[in-house]
Structure 1
Amino acid sequence: MSKHTTGSLRRVALVTGAGRNIGRAIALALARDGMAVAVNVRSSVAEGQTVVDELKALGVPALLCVADVTDALAVQAMVSQVAAHFGRLDVLVNNAAIRKEATLASMSSTDWRSTLAVVLDGAFHCTQAALPYLQKATDGAVINIGGLTAHTGAENRVHVVTAKAGLVGLTRALAHDLAAHQVTVNCVSPGMIDTVRQGSSVSAQPQHHKKHAPLLGRRGTAQEVADSVAWLAGPQARFVTGQVLHVNGGTYLGS
């Protein structure tokens, strides 16, 4: 039995935006640590089901949850579905995001609002809905997935930078609010990660990737980000809360 289980009951994690790349890697990393995992997607149902199948192939209970995190009622229904299926919810990973690029002059209010809605409103909705279950857990954890440019800034990403920077503030505020219940809240901030960029929520090649390079001389992997999330969700990090963990190979230092 995994060291992350409690008695005969597995801990349960919900990972938003888990159909591909970092989200998928996080779901698999938590599963390898013994957690049951609820995989959230908004529209990429086939990708989400593939991840669920991968988890089940590892012998881990898994559940596909199709919900738009910007919709508070849909999120509430999703969390209720997770709790009804597994009987608990111990770890929430707010990974869903939009990372498209646009100049300030060309950016529509819809582009601005939709980015903040997914990243910030989504994290708020999910954490609020999960709160009753996290409070019951003896080792609850919330991990928000931020981003390098929230700290360095970047061209053509005013909406993304603002949203991801807001996650840092949300992390610190929630760390205070949830501390009395022994729920830790942290932010993992990836940068220069080698992922497949496709779909309507991302730009093919961010401009800032052309200007910055990791000190370590390579791009990171989704697995390396996922390992950091798993550590924060696990027993070794129970005295860590309100923090931002940068996973970028030193890119931040050279920016």
Structure 2
Amino acid sequence: MTDTPFLPRVAVVTGGARGIGLAIGQWFLAHGYQVALLDNDHATLDAAVAELALPDRVLGVHCDVSDEAQVAAAAKTVAGRFGRVDALVNNAGVAVFKRIADTSFADWRSVMGTNLDGAFLCTQAFSPSMVEAGRGAVVNVASISGLRASTLRVAYGTSKAALIHLTKQYAVELGNAGVRVNVIAPGPVETEMAKLVHSVAIRSDYVDAIPLGRYGSVEEMANAVGFLCSDAASFINGQVIAVDGGFDAAGVGLPTLRRGAATAQADHA
């Protein structure tokens, strides 16, 4: 009887050209995976793949995850290159920040198409490989906006709340086949997009509202996703983890009172 050669695990990351998605791809590479990065921004994806400079382990696939045909083609491409999938991270997302009265149906459908339909289509396309193997992990990237409502997020927040419930639906069914499905809900994260759209006043508000007093990093998001995909999380299924520095836990707590409590604790230390 001959030994079966070791086959590296394979991870698929959507929205993998930049920010959180690229950091997740780098986490998988650092842990020995082969990685397929999917993104609809051709130029940025090609640049990211070139920068990683690991042609034997990294595959860039141009794909709009809201398009069923493109997702099916991407799944075929990944299968042809790597032959299997062990982890899927549905990270691709778009946002439209408008007041409800100003949000058009086209805006609504654009957000739902990527944030919700995309996760559904990709999980449908890539999970059969995991089901056949009897193991694997799917992690969806939602948002703190899926856990707590806020202004200008009628489409974005609703899509992320729906993604959290979609995660639980998949966890119940795919769990029977040994495939775990979980979701993270990032709070404010230091990304290039955040730097562009978060004014000084908005950043100050967030920092005041987050008990840890800062934005998260893309590496911290990647670490959470990586953990959920790892064997260390082998009994975690159907869960939403807020990776937000305590933002969700703080609820409507007043920053001034929290700072006062922190001062009092320091005085008693």
With normalisation by structure 1, the TM-score equals 0.90
Greater Cα radius of gyration, structure 1 or 2:
2
Q: How does 1:1-255 map to 2 (within 5 A)?
A: 8-42=6-40, 44-57=41-54, 61-197=57-193, 204-205=197-198, 211-212=205-206, 213-255=209-251
Structure 1 segments (4+ residues) deviating >4 Å: 206-210
Cα distance in 1 for residues equivalent to 2:202 and 2:122? 30
Match of 1:215, as an amino acid? P
**Consecutive unaligned residues in structure 2, runs of 5 or more:** 252-269
Shift of 1:209: 5.1
Cα distance in 1 for residues equivalent to 2:31 and 2:224? 12
Match of 1:92, as an amino acid? L
Cα distance in 2 for residues equivalent to 1:246 and 1:72? 29
Choose 202-211 or 47-56, whichever is displaced more.
202-211
Shift of 1:181: 1.2
Cα distance in 1 for residues equivalent to 2:25 and 2:150? 29
Match of 1:3 in 2: none
Is the Cα–Cα contact under 8 Å of residues 10 and 35 in structure 1 kept in the other structure?
yes
Shift of 1:159: 0.2
SS in 2 for 1:186: strand
Give the 3 Å change call, closer, same or farther, for CA 209–171 of structure 1 in structure 2: farther
Cα distance in 2 for residues equivalent to 1:60 and 1:191? 34
Cα distance in 1 for residues equivalent to 2:202 and 2:98? 13
SS in 2 for 1:184: strand
Give the 3 Å change call, closer, same or farther, for CA 134–238 of structure 1 in structure 2: same
Cα distance in 1 for residues equivalent to 2:223 and 2:47? 21
Report how many aligned residue pairs link the two structures.
245
**Consecutive unaligned residues in structure 1, runs of 5 or more:** 1-5
With normalisation by structure 2, the TM-score equals 0.86
Higher helix share: 2
Shift of 1:136: 2.3
Shift of 1:47: 1.8
Identity %: 37
Cα distance in 1 for residues equivalent to 2:220 and 2:81? 30
